[in-house]
Structure 1
Amino acid sequence: MAEAAKSTIICISANGKTSSASQSAANRMLIATADGVVDFRRDNLDAPWTRQPDMLLPGHHVSALVYDEVTDMLFAGLHYEGGLMVSSDHGKSWEARNNGLQSGHVYSLLVQHDGDRTILNVGTEPVMFYRSFDLGQSWTAYPGCTQVEGTEHWFFPRSQPHVKHIAAHPSEPETIYICVEQGDLLRTEDGGESWTSLNSMERPDDKFRRDQHRVTFYRYNAAEIFLTTGIGLYHTADRGETWERLTDTSHPCAYPDPLFVHPRKELMFMVGAGMNPNPNWGAEGTAYPKFMVSTDHGKTWQTSMIGMADPIAGNLEVAAMHDSAEGGVELFAGSACGELYASRDEAQSWQRIADGLPAMSKGPHFRHFLPPDERAAYEEKLRALNAFA
């Protein structure tokens, strides 16, 4: 289909913006993969999604992908090397904007709007938080995030700790949360100058130490947060000072990551693996991932995967929710083995949009599901980049 003057774009990536909204239904969907960005289009809400022949950013593992409606620009953070790429023509051409970034491994990305300012926020591996006030032309590092207590315990297997996720409530743009994987949940209330460790959820018997994945605000309340981690789901009503643990590693979704709050109903969605990353992922060919629904504010969860494979090969590593006045809530989920699913009935049923896509994966998770020779070659490539121990 011919591209409209201004497409309504959904971006789906492991560590970028996962929720979006518009008046008209989306007619373009960009999927971040381990080998570039896959481009899908549809003519209208009821038309099928059709994959376009050309990849964007081919050969790059795209960690975080964001389309910003205000500037009409695309921002892509690349795993391992390449830093931040920016496109002002919907992906036809890209420009690297890395002046001031000390690492080319951009893990997470948040675009904010504060009055007439557009602020880019980037988290990298190794851990560092950056902001740009000129659309990435220059970057300022905020090293206070590495000067909190307990950094000597930060750890990530075979690699380095990193900023897995960045979140800020629209009403408080200078209050920012970053998830260090594995290490800590940190909050700044002054735009990154100083940071506080929020660790009251920690227990002596935790399977992993402070393995923080993602912060999700509950609608308009900046004080109410849901936090997904490597050991379960937590909830706070006081900005992270105290926490209630809602699930643990015995839960069917033992290793949750993406989480969504329905914009109007008492309905939440959570996505994650049935067990933490370990050799059984590869041996069994699946992480037994689950897409789950809660109707009681996260207290209980039900699996909702009608139309998906059972079990799904690999793991559901990426997900997104788009809400439009025309089409309502649409949900999307993609796997480390290249399957992409969509739901238009609030996860009551799913349709497979495509299979055989490049892996949709947080970092090197997808390697668990590669044939042995391909996995060995991939890990050797990472060693050459000093990205794998």
Structure 2
Amino acid sequence: MSEAIQLLVGTRKGAWIYRSDAGRTGWTAQGPIFLGCIISHLVLDPRDGKTLLMAAATGHLGPTVFSSTDDGETWTEAQRPPAFPKTEDPATGRAVDHTFWLEPGHPSEPGVWWAGTSPPGLFESRDGGATWDSVSGFNDHPNYRDWVPAEAGTPDGPLLNQVVIDPRDAAHMYLATSTAGVFESHDRGATWTPLNQNVEANFLPDPYPEYGQDAHFIALAPTNPDRLWQQNHCGIYRLDRPSDRWERIGNAMPTEIGDIGFTIVPHARDAETAWVFPMDGTQVWPRTSPGGRPAVYRTADGGASWDRQDAGFPTEQGWFTVKRQAFCADRADPLGLYLGTTGGELWMSGDEGGSWRQIAAHLPEIYSVVAAPLP
């Protein structure tokens, strides 16, 4: 069964919304929205089906968050965007460069949102994104400077790039960071513990440290929240709780492709199935599709094996990749997959990766793609 769908697209120079009926064959575009602004994330609140939150870096307002309740026609800026507490000590002072990730709170907590920023910071809103408060349990942790060393970062800056909430328990949360890997909290963010056993960091003297990894993306299997998938800077991993030890399932990928990429997408109804979009991580890390031949790879057995899915993609000279937030799925049957490229193209598959077609081109560099049902 399918439903009408919208794709919320954030780019380096604005946001767009693409809408389609249940057939997912034709798409209409709304946008640009905030043309010229860096839009890291645009998210629909699944709890009310109408509130949109947007993480934006604007020229005159700086890093901020906007909300809309009329399908993106009008926007209201947050009264108090995510910001670290002010201090006179230059050794501890921090300023939010941009908000990178927006996460709707647990279904039991309407109006609650979480945000991850650069430099890495965790923030909470309890009023639908109007005001934001620093979460001291992470931001003021005694080990914060070890978790976020001054010299660490990505091309977009050091990131707290993800907040994930256990659908069974609002107090059980995970974070993904580009400087220290994955963290877990059982008390709604008051305390945090590194969760990186057996995850490689081959750029450090100790390749398997307690923290220091670059967790590009993590995802819970929707039908089994005890299964976590991770696309890391150093491979593809799976974790089955209550274990704390990740397994590198990317070793089963073809050696000529490798297991480096930015994101991983789990199947909405099958905990054994997930997709990745590999990039070239050899030598100078060009961050392009290996060999200029883009493809998605799917596992249907928990990572024991991977199948190439490239029908419709360029067979040569396709030198793009897909960023952390720019690959997603809907919940239709068959499931739809959507990805945005660094070259400003929007692609979709309506048959779970079996074939791909381009639905938009010539956009700015795409930072994020989120699939959501139409209200």
Shorter-chain TM-score range: 0.7 to 0.9
Residue identity matched to 1:257: F
Using the TM superposition, give the Cα deviation of residue 275 of structure 1 relative to its aligned residue in structure 2, in angstroms. 1.8
Matched residue of 2:111: which SS?
strand
Contact 1:200 1:243 in 2 (8 A): yes
Letter in 2 for 1:258: T
Is the 2:257–2:290 Cα contact (8 Å) retained in structure 1? no
Structure 2 residue 197 is matched with structure 1 residue 200: yes
What per-residue deviation string (whole Å, max 9, x for no partner) do you get for residues 50-73 of structure 1?
A: 334x31222111111111133311
Q: 2:341 — aligned with what? A: 335
Structure 2 residues without counterparts, runs of 5 or longer: 84-95, 369-375
The 8 Å contact of residues 111 and 121 in structure 1, kept in 2 or not, is answered as yes
Amino acid in structure 2 at the alignment position of 1:260 = V
Residue aligning to 1:257: 262
Report if aligned partners of 2:53, 2:129 keep a CA contact under 8 Å in 1.
no
1:128–1:143 contact (8 Å) kept in structure 2: no
| Structure 1 gaps, min length 5 | 1-22, 363-389
Shift of 1:277: 9.6
| Counterpart for residue 323 of structure 1 | 331
Q: Deviations 1:72-95 (Å, cap 9, x if unpaired)? A: 110111247332111111111111
* Superposition RMSD in Å: 2.9
Checking the alignment, whether the CA contact within 8 Å between 2:3 and 2:21 is kept in structure 1 is no
**CA offsets, 1:330-353, max 9 Å, x none?**
111111101111111110111111
Corresponding letter in the other structure for 1:45 = G
Counterpart for residue 162 of structure 2: 165
Please state how far the C-alpha of 1:191 moved relative to its aligned partner: 1.1
2:52 corresponding residue in structure 1: 74
Question: Is the alpha carbon distance of 1:175 and 1:167 closer, same or farther for their aligned partners in structure 2, counting shifts above 3 Å?
Answer: same
Query: Does structure 1 conserve the Cα–Cα contact (< 8 Å) formed by 2:200 and 2:234?
Result: no
The residue type paired with residue 361 of structure 1 is: Y
Instruction: State the identity as a percent.
Output: 21
Q: TM-score, normalised to structure 2's length? A: 0.80
Select which of 156, 180, 183 maps to 2:153: 156
Which residue of the other structure, out of 44, 55, 60, is the alignment partner of 2:37?
60
How much does 1:224 deviate?
Answer: 1.9
Aligned partners of 2:107, 2:167: CA distance in 1, in Å?
A: 8
TM-score (normalised: structure 1): 0.77
Q: Post-superposition shift, 1:251?
A: 6.4
2-structure distance, mates of 1:285, 1:246? 19
CA drift of 1:276 comes to 6.5
CA 1:275/1:177 → structure 2, altered by over 3 Å: closer, same or farther?
same
Counterpart CA distance in 1 for 2:361 and 2:149 is 40
Equivalences for residues 171-190 of structure 1 within 5 A: 171-190=168-187
Which structure has greater helix proportion? 1
Partner of 1:119 in structure 2? 112
What are the within-5 Å matches in structure 2 for residues 23-42 of structure 1? 25-42=3-20
How big is the shift at 1:220?
3.5
Q: State how far apart, in whole Å, the 2-side matches of 1:90 and 1:320 are.
A: 20
For the Cα contact (< 8 Å) 1:78–1:104, is it kept in 2?
no
Provide, for residues 146-176 of structure 1, a one-character-per-residue CA deviation record: whole Å limited to 9, x for no partner: 4264326471146642111111121121111
**Does 2:231 correspond to 1:228?**
yes
Query: CA, structure 1 residues 38+176, in 2 after alignment: closer, same or farther (shift >3 Å)?
Result: same
Per the alignment, residue 107 of structure 1 pairs with 100
One-letter amino acid of the counterpart of residue 65, structure 2: L
Look up the match of 2:372. none
1:236-255 matches, within 5 Å, as 236-239=239-242, 241-247=244-250, 252-255=257-260
Matched residues, number: 336
